[in-house]
Chain A
Amino acid sequence: MTATRLKPGDTIDGFTVESVVPAGAMARVYRVSHPARRQFGMVLKQPRLGGDDAEFLLGFETELAILPALTGPHAPRFVTAGDLERAPYLVMEWVDGQPLAQELQRAPLPADEVAWFGALVADALHDLHRQDVIHLDLKPDNIVIRHSGIATLLDFGLAHHARFPDLHLEEQRFAAGSAPYVSPEQVLGVRGDARSDLFALGVVLYELATARLPFGVPRSMAGMRDRLWRMPIPPCVRVPSVPPWLQEIILRCLEPDPAARYPSAAQLAFALRHPESVAISQRGWRRTGPGLAEQAGRWWRARHIQPARKRLPNLLSGEAPIIMVALDAGNPDDPRHEALQRNAKLIFSAGDFRLVLVSVIPVDLERSESAQLRHRVWMRHWCDPLGLARNKISLHVLEAADPANALLDFARTNLVDLIVLGAPGPHEAPLGWWRSVASSVTALAHCSVHVVRVPTESRG
């Protein structure tokens, strides 16, 4: 097998090399063109064959298996591959945009920029996890922000697909450049937990917010085990202007126990987009680093952590849904409110859900503030009987002329998995089903819709 170095002007199986792209240690990357494929720019990736052939090829094989199975804008489109035994190469979409590594040069970035980038990457991770793939090598070099404002992830050589055999399970090695971002459970050999990607994103957020790495650059496996128990220096200690909500988000992502992090990328994206909804705990408020006694305590509690002998069950976003309930908070006497409460309770056996209550008010510059307050007070009153933890709920009042579109946009932007709303109520009923908010939302939503009806007296 050969993977001879190419130069501009060379051709291989119909592809012409236009230029060489600076790339990492594992592969050579070239911009290429092909007369029959003009839809988008392309790159050709060759594994760098050297002393450790087996390892580089494993990454190449993994990307070759996984990339064609991915759809959507958050991964490069797969074009074709060369014969693995004769001339191995991968051709994929050239992702045009700004690598996040370049934004890092401006770090520390202000909180709202950190949150904006973070939400884009979380959106990408959500889409990936929904396709049963965990990236497992997330770092600034592997994130490109397209000009359209979408994050695309590169390099799937270490990725895990839940429904394919995983060649990396037997032996995992981490490239030096990846080590700072690797999650504690990956260090222990676990590759089936999607929350590992959230840890890596936490490291990236920390870096964007403070220009430092939370666990430094480990130079050995022993150094990598630090993250199993050590608490990083809180971001606001490094950069005092980091607000408590961002520190809360970052430190939650960096929790050694995956169950303590955000249960899904969508919920993390939601927190980054709605800082006011973040329930700040002690870790968000703290302004000093952990002392010796505290670190010792953490080390002591973590000492029993063993490498997993079996793969953990995949925890992908389907088990941690975001449920949006649309309430007509402007009509407190509406008979649907109680029915919605009952239905909400029925749905709440769904694991690590996040509940988002939304009400829509007409645009009215003069009275908007008091209307907002009134709606919030009422929504809080509505959800009290549900007895849910404060950090699982958030309230939003949207101002819009068209309630259906406002609800649809909000649901799409916030990666909602299920919309719950009432069938046309007494105020809307005269208009008929086809002109109601419920019918528009049901017809056009990107996700499932649960329409709640008040049981009528007679059974016909």
Chain B
Amino acid sequence: MLALLSDIHANIAALEACLAHADAHGAKRYAFLGDLVGYNADVREVVQRVADYAEQGAIVLKGNHDEAVETSSAYLNDASRAAIDWARSQLSAEERRFLAELPLVHREDDLCLVHATVDHPERWHYLDSPAAAHRSMEAAACPYTFVGHVHEQRLYTEQQGRAHAFHPSPGTAIPVLRNRRRLAIVGTVGQPRDNNQAAGYCLFDAAQARVTFFRIPYDYRATAARIRAAGLPEALAYRIERGF
């Protein structure tokens, strides 16, 4: 059983809630699909936690916010840039090296994992249409692709040469046979944007060919309080409290 967590964005409370849930539900392997930092305040806690998992064999990928710590964050808006500046100020040299060395894509057996899109992963495109989903499926050329970056949970199924979107219900184990290509957007642990404050992640059972999406409640007020305590823009705290 593989647990997939993405877009944690320095939200330790949300991360811990998802990890505890995954463990209780039989997760044996973990994959973190990027954007460990950005938006929220718990930069060191999250990076250290994920680095610990990496040492135990977890898959960790790089997201655009992770990249922005080292390179340019000019394309980010003011609030986001402030959060990256904060991350840069908090991380040790070793932690920054950890982020910088993260790979963009991971492939194994039937699986392809990436932060944003499989085709041109370095461009950080948003996978926000069936056409975009299909392009990634073609580039992945394998039965199961998992991505993050888009902060909503979706399941795309290939049928007659096109990808078809589906909005999963949290908690339902969806059969995903190998005969058709599937692409799952696993959602965001650290900054939901669908008016639901609960953290999102996904469990994949390759043996049973089933994928389950989850939304896990966590203490978002504490996260918002820490954003304010760190002096980050009020808008970021407000987003966490409202889940948008």
Contacts and interface: CB of A to CB of B under 8 A. Distances in A.
A61 interface: yes
A82 to B, nearest CB: 12
A167 interface: yes
Interface in B126-180: 155, 157, 159-160, 162, 164, 166, 168-169, 172, 174-175, 177-179
A366 interface: no
A170 B155 contact: no
Contacts of B162: 170
Interface in A157-198: 162-165, 167, 169-171
B160 A170 contact: yes
Q: How large is the interface on B (under 10, 10 to 19, 20 to 34, 35 or more residues)?
A: 10 to 19
A85 interface: yes
B159 A64 contact: no
A12 interface: no
Interface of B: 155, 157, 159-160, 162, 164, 166, 168-169, 172, 174-175, 177-179
A65 interface: yes
16 contacts: A61-B177, A61-B179, A64-B175, A64-B177, A84-B178, A85-B178, A85-B179, A162-B169, A163-B174, A164-B172, A165-B155, A165-B166, A167-B157, A169-B164, A170-B160, A171-B160
Contacts, number: 36
Interface in A48-69: 54, 61, 64-65, 68-69
Interface residues of A, number: 16
Shortest 8 CB-CB contacts between residues of A and residues of B: A165-B166, A65-B175, A163-B172, A163-B169, A84-B179, A165-B157, A164-B174, A84-B177
Interface string A224-243: 00000000000000000000
A65 B155 CA distance: 15
Most chain A CB neighbours (cut-off 10 Å) among B157, B166, B179: B179
Nearest to B169: A163
A167 B175 contact: no
A314 B29 CA distance: 36
Interface in A201-237: none
Interface of A: 54, 61, 64-65, 68-69, 84-85, 162-165, 167, 169-171
A439 B201 CA distance: 43
Contacts of B168: 163
Contacts of B159: 167, 170
Contacts of A69: 175
A64 B157 CA distance: 16
Nearest to A62: B175
A84 B157 CA distance: 17
B166 to A, nearest CB: 4
Nearest to A88: B179
A70 to B, nearest CB: 12
A164 B175 CA distance: 8
A458 B136 CA distance: 69
A171 B166 CA distance: 16
Contacts of A68: 175
Contacts of A164: 166, 172, 174-175
